[in-house]
Structure formats: C-alpha cells, structure tokens
Structure 1
Amino acid sequence: MKVMSVRKLSGAVLAAMLGAVPVAAQNFTTAAEVRPILDMTRNSWVAIREYGDNDLVYFTHLLAWRCGLSEIRYGFNGAAPKSKFKMEKCHEGSAQPNAIAGDNVFVSQPKGSVKDVRVKLIYDDGSTEEARFKRNAVLSR
C-alpha cells in the first residue's frame, strides 16, 4: 500500500477523505438562516449583569443574529414584551453583515429589580417567537 503525504493531496481529495461536506455560503441575514441558530441557543438570548446600582439586561446574542430579525421586544417582571429594543441596521454588502459596531447592547434598570425577562422576536418573514427567562437563569456572576 502506498502512503501519501497530506501535503500532496488536493483540498478536494482531503476534504472527501475527512468526510467534509461543502456548505453553501450563508450570510445569516434571513429568518430561514438565523431561526435554527436562535432556536438552539435560546438560553443565551439575554443575560443580566449587576453593575454598580444597576441591572444591565444584555441582548448581545440576539444582536449578533439581528439581520434575520425585524424587531426584538422585551418586558420585565411579567410584563408583556411590548418595549422595542433599538437595533443597529445590518451591514448589508459587507463581509460581516451581523457585526455589532455600536455599543447599544443592553437596557439598564435599578439593581435587583429585574426578576424575569420576556422576549419576543419578530423575524423578517413575519413569524414570531417568545421566551421567558428567570433572573437566576441568566444572571452573570
């Protein structure tokens, strides 16, 4: 049996040998592309951090996939998710359309006041998804 150096193999042959399957390029800018990711990472949608005299409720994870969303709404302590979180626009036409350029990634509330967070996602195809997070489940320590 002849042994070949990996260096002598073409990329396609090496990929086939390793079982790699080519994946079509995706920008993750549509509901169809981001919904599966957000479904799998639901527990990361929001985080609460106590900082000084404030509870900072972070939406960073959702903002990283915002290009497939038309809105993020939230409510605290059992309130319906009616408050709209202001998202920066997607950077369409750039290599990283979901990159976060600004620093608007959280909402500040008085320390200890946020007992739970309700989130409603409105995807760019009009579909919606809701979730509720208890403080202790999303509190960063």
Structure 2
Amino acid sequence: MRIFLALLLLAAVPANAQNFTTAAEVRPILEATRGNWIALREYEGEDLLYFTHLEAWRCGLSQIEYAVNGGEMAVWTVEDCYEAEAQPNAIKADGRESYEPMPLGHVEQVQVRITYDDGETAEASYERAAVLMP
C-alpha cells in the first residue's frame, strides 16, 4: 500500500530537473518505501547486497551507512547528483556496481542509516529473509 501511495505521489507531481533533489522531496518517497532500501541476492557463490533503491533517490541525501550482522557502520559511496542535467537522479554507474559482494550466506541482518541533506536521519533494520530476492 505504501508503494502504491508513493507512486500516486509521483504521478501527481510534475517531473522536472528540480524535483526529487532535496530532503523535503525525497523523504516522503523513502519513508513510504523503507522496506525496499536494500535487497540481497545470492549469485555465483556470493551474497550481493544491493543499494540500488537508495542510489535512485540519492539526491536529497548526504550519506548512506550500513552495517552487516551487527558490525561497524560503513559508508556506501554513491554517484553525485547531476543537478545540471534533465535527470539529476540518473545512475550512470561508470566503473562501479550498486552492490557489495560478500561470502555466500554471510548476510544475516543489515542495519541502514540514511542522512538527509537537511541533517535528519532515518534508520531501518532488515533480516536476510525479508530482503532476499528469489
């Protein structure tokens, strides 16, 4: 239901290069889609921890941090926001991946903290089964 409401919000707002580049604009979407911030995939003998959803809404964020299995928080580095272009949130992925590879079966739990460009933070915790893609 939350994803449906977020999509309705997106449809109601006219798209232009100035939309979805500030905390005020991306916060409602990220709050509504909190369950989709990360994903996990078992592929070719590895766990791949994906941050694609957060990367797509990175304009309006100043930092993304994550910890696996209760470990220390690490910073997930994202592309810059292309504010001078028609699609500022475009993911060009020049020479980088939107996932972190780990040993197969290693990821049991992930903690994520995002910091918006206005300094506010939001956190979420995910169990493996909740974010594991088929």
TM-score range, shorter chain: 0.7 to 0.9
Q: Secondary structure at the match of 2:25?
A: helix
**What pairs up with 1:72-91 in 2 under 5 angstroms?**
72-80=64-72, 82-91=73-82
- Separation (CA, whole Å) in 2 of partners of 1:140 and 1:24: 32
Query: 1:94 is aligned with what amino acid?
Result: E
Alignment check: 8 A CA contact 1:116 1:134 kept:
yes
**Residues 1:125 and 2:113 aligned together:** no
2:83 to 70, 88, 92: 92
**Residues 1:110 and 2:103 aligned together:** yes
- CA 1:110–1:23 in structure 2 vs 1: closer, same or farther (change >3 Å)? closer
Q: Secondary structure at the match of 1:32?
A: helix
Percent identity between matched residues is: 55
Aligned residue for 1:65?
Answer: 57
TM-score by length of 2: 0.84
- CA 1:24–1:79 in structure 2 vs 1: closer, same or farther (change >3 Å)? same
Listed as ranges, the gaps of 5+ residues in structure 2 are: 1-11
Shift of 1:27: 1.6
Q: Secondary structure at the match of 1:67?
A: coil
Task: Please list every run of at least 4 consecutive aligned residues from structure 1 whose deviation after the TM superposition is greater than 3 angstroms.
Answer: 22-26
- Separation (CA, whole Å) in 2 of partners of 1:34 and 1:95: 17
- Separation (CA, whole Å) in 2 of partners of 1:79 and 1:132: 13
TM-score by length of 1: 0.80
Alignment check: 8 A CA contact 1:29 1:97 kept:
yes
Q: Deviations over 1:69-114 (max 9, x none)?
A: 001000001235x200010101111110001000421111100000
Query: 2:122 is aligned with what amino acid?
Result: E
- CA 1:94–1:115 in structure 2 vs 1: closer, same or farther (change >3 Å)? same
Alignment check: 8 A CA contact 1:74 1:118 kept:
yes
Number of residues of Structure 1 aligned to a counterpart in Structure 2: 120
Q: Secondary structure at the match of 2:59?
A: helix
